[in-house]
């Protein structure tokens, strides 16, 4: 009998490409991953991996097993959801991952509603960049995560995850921009080519979005500061330290002295969970509470843009 936990490691290897990456995603050592995959080969009775240089690649049999593992894991999630549905009251843990602006603006109301409706449900929130949230879901570290996609950074297909649209919000170029430039976002980006830029840390989706936006305008940004919290970004902008790309959700606490130029770019936020887990009562309750909180969120304070919409994929 094949061990499904070892099969999940093989699936991760097919997705991530290296044993080191699998070990990092699973919060264990590369040696432990290698031992588990070797044991899986013994259980399977056929070679699943072969050496290529200093790494390994899947054989045809390994690729076949990795592909079938997705369905097996989804069935296990469905079985777990079905068992949880027989309980008379929600209990246990619900682990939610979200990006900083959502933690500050959307999650508080959702957590209050969940706590009132399901007092035995233990809620855990982890601040996580959307670029790292899928790996945390795959590893079982999170049950629900809020993830992003941008016009310049579309989401990569992931058969192991289910994504549910939450909201869409416009993006702005923030800085000390003359009013003529602020009237057109594309011109504002081009006009800022020689200015210092404030962007998120490399490896984040927000960083990639800002870089690609500038590349589309014909230049590479001259980055002066790195900051991942948009409240800090806007404070730096107000201090004259550069320009930055910010989403509408980040404008709840926008300081005075910041001019905003609307961009023809949308940030879409989705609720993600493992495939097969959508029917789990705790996951469904969490997703519903987050949707309600997003629908009721009042937007930025008076005088700031408040252009939110609820997004459905085409």
Q: Which residues pair with 173 in a beta bridge?
A: 245, 261
Question: Along the 314 residues of the chain, how does pLDDT read in single tens digits?
Answer: 899 899 989 988 988 889 998 888 787 888 999 999 999 999 999 999 998 888 899 999 999 999 899 889 888 888 988 888 888 888 899 999 999 999 999 999 999 999 999 999 999 999 998 988 998 998 889 999 999 888 888 888 888 899 999 999 989 999 864 443 444 455 789 989 999 999 999 989 899 999 999 999 999 999 999 999 999 999 999 999 999 999 999 988 788 888 888 898 899 999 999 999 999 999 999 999 999 999 988 765 444 554 444 444 33
Q: Which residues, at least 6 apart from 184, have a Cβ–Cβ distance to it below 8 Å?
A: 261
What string of DSSP letters covers 241-290? S-BEEEEGGGGGGPPTT-EEEEEEEEEEEEEEEETT-TTSHHHHHHHHHH
Q: Identify the pLDDT of residue 22.
A: 87
Q: Identify the pLDDT of residue 21.
A: 87
Please name the residue that has the structure tokens 């549910």.
164
- CA-CA distance, 227 to 202, in Å (whole number)? 10
Question: What domains can be seen in the chain, in order of their start residue?
Answer: 4-84 (1.10.10.10), 90-314 (3.40.190.290)
Task: Determine the distance from the C-alpha atom of residue 153 to the mean position of all C-alpha atoms in its chain, rounded to a whole number.
Answer: 12
What string of DSSP letters covers 88-131? SS--EEEEEEE-HHHHHHTHHHHHHHHHHH-TTEEEEEEE--TT
Q: Identify the pLDDT of residue 183.
A: 45
The predicted model scores a pTM of 0.80
Q: Identify the pLDDT of residue 188.
A: 84
Query: Which of 170, 150, 160 shows the shortest CA–CA distance to 270?
Result: 150
- CA-CA distance, 22 to 121, in Å (whole number)? 31
- CA-CA distance, 150 to 64, in Å (whole number)? 32
| Helix, coil or strand: residue 148 | strand
């Amino acid at each position: 009998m094949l061990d499904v936990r070892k099969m999940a490691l093989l699936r991760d290897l097919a997705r991530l490409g290296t044993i080191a990456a699998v070990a990092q995603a699973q919060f264990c050592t590369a040696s432990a991953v290698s031992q588990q995959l070797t044991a899986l080969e013994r259980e399977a009775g056929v070679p699943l991996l072969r050496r290529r240089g200093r790494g390994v690649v899947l054989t045809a049999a390994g690729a076949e097993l990795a592909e079938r593992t997705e369905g097996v894991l989804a069935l296990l999630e469905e079985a777990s959801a079905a068992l949880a549905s027989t309980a008379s009251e929600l209990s246990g843990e619900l682990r939610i991952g979200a990006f900083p602006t959502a933690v500050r603006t959307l999650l508080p109301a959702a957590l209050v509603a969940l706590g009132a409706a399901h007092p035995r449900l233990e809620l855990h929130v982890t601040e996580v960049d959307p670029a790292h949230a899928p790996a945390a879901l795959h590893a079982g570290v999170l049950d629900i995560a809020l993830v992003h996609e941008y016009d310049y950074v579309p989401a990569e297909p992931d058969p192991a995850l289910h994504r549910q649209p939450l909201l869409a919000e416009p993006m702005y170029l923030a800085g000390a921009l003359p009013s003529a430039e602020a009237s057109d976002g594309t011109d504002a980006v081009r006009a800022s080519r020689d200015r210092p830029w404030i962007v998120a840390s490399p490896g984040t989706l927000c960083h990639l979005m800002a870089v690609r936006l500038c590349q589309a305008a014909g230049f590479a940004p001259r980055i002066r500061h790195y900051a991942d919290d948009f409240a800090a970004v806007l404070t730096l902008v107000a201090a004259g330290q550069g320009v930055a790309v910010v989403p509408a959700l980040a404008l709840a606490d926008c300081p005075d002295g910041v001019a905003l130029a609307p961009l023809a770019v949308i940030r879409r936020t989705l609720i993600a969970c493992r495939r097969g887990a959508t029917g789990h009562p705790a996951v469904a309750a969490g997703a519903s509470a987050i949707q309600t909180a997003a629908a009721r969120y009042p937007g930025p304070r008076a005088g700031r843009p408040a252009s939110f919409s609820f997004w459905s994929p085409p």
